[in-house]
Amino acid sequence: MGIFNKRSVADLGEKKKDMPEGLWIKCPSCGESLYEQALAKNLRVCSHCQHHFTLSAEERIALVADEGSFEEIDAKLDSVNPLGFKDYLGKVRAYQAKTGLTEAVITGRAKIDGQPVLLAIMDCAVIVFSASGGARMHEGILSLMQMAKTSGALARHSEAKLPYVSVLTHPTTGGVTASFATLGDIILAEPKCMIGFAGPRVVKETTHSDLPPGFQTAEFMMEHGLVDTIVPRAEMRSTLSRLLLYLLPKQAAA
Ligand SMILES: [Zn+2]
């Protein structure tokens, strides 16, 4: 339950501390001004254009897991500086202080409508919500190695005939897209989220060609077979619960 004692990312930052209650937020997609409290009530989805704002891990867990069921694992997992990269640990510590988190990934056991899951770790049904710029180049080969290690872990999970649902949220890019995010037995995505390996500018410059409309959006990826279905945030919990009913052995759900 460690995560619930941590400060929320949304509460941090000098500007946010000084903001009065009843703040208006401009939707980056449609430009509409949204009342912050109303936005929170609507699961941080724009009521005008359905833009899905980012969620903290804590908000994400509250969205899908049964209340009080989440138990964090590896809460004290910490980064090292294997390349002796200049100022790297200082930057890591600064971000840890800013976010109140030791790591970018929160993992733990939880239940969805009473059904046991591990969020972002293996053992029974696994659900990973991805949102990443990719592997940490500052950690060199140890970072890239995790692409193979997470893929290997998912292969063993699959050999154990256990399901893995991958949920892609904005943005899912780089080494995360090239490994565990796209290895789900079922791959879901939030509406309009960006999914890709290299960014659109790099792809355009490398291929010397114009990109098709909607390139690297969840909708484009579903049309081209990478994503199974797009799930609006308000339907995420019920969709996961229904999938678990289909995928989990009956005794596991007891
Ligand atoms: Zn909007």
What is the per-residue pLDDT across 20-39, written as a single tens digit (0 to 9) for each? Answer: 556 898 988 899 999 988 99
Please report whether residue 21 resides in a domain.
no
Please report whether residue 31 resides in a domain.
no
Alpha helices in 123-181 (DSSP H): 140-159, 174-177
Please report whether residue 12 resides in a domain.
no
Residue 112 per-residue DSSP state: E
Please report whether residue 177 resides in a domain.
yes
Please report whether residue 44 resides in a domain.
no
**2 Cα: distance to centroid of ligand 1 (angstroms):** 33
**205 Cα: distance to centroid of ligand 1 (angstroms):** 30
The secondary element (H helix, E strand) that includes residue 243 is: helix 236-247
Q: Which two tokens stand for residue 221?
A: 């990826």
Residue 85 per-residue DSSP state: -
pLDDT tens figures, 55-105: 888 888 888 899 999 999 888 888 888 888 888 899 889 988 887 778 777
**154 Cα: distance to centroid of ligand 1 (angstroms):** 36
User: Whole-model pTM?
Assistant: 0.73
Given a cut of 80, is residue 231 above it in pLDDT? yes
**32 Cα: distance to centroid of ligand 1 (angstroms):** 6
Q: Can you tell me which residue has the tokens 């180049």?
A: 137
Rounded to 10°, the helix 57-64/236-247 angle is 60
What is the extent of the structural domain holding 65? 55-253
Residue 128 confidence (pLDDT): 86
Please report whether residue 184 resides in a domain.
yes
- The CATH number of the domain holding residue 106 is 3.90.226.10
Residue among 89, 79, 68 at smallest CA distance from 3? 68
**34 Cα: distance to centroid of ligand 1 (angstroms):** 8
Please report whether residue 25 resides in a domain.
no
Please report whether residue 3 resides in a domain.
no
Measured in residues, the chain has a length of 254
C-alpha 87/C-alpha 33 separation (Å) is 39
Task: Give the SS3 label for residue 129.
Answer: strand
Per the structure, the count of domains in the chain is 1
**37 Cα: distance to centroid of ligand 1 (angstroms):** 15
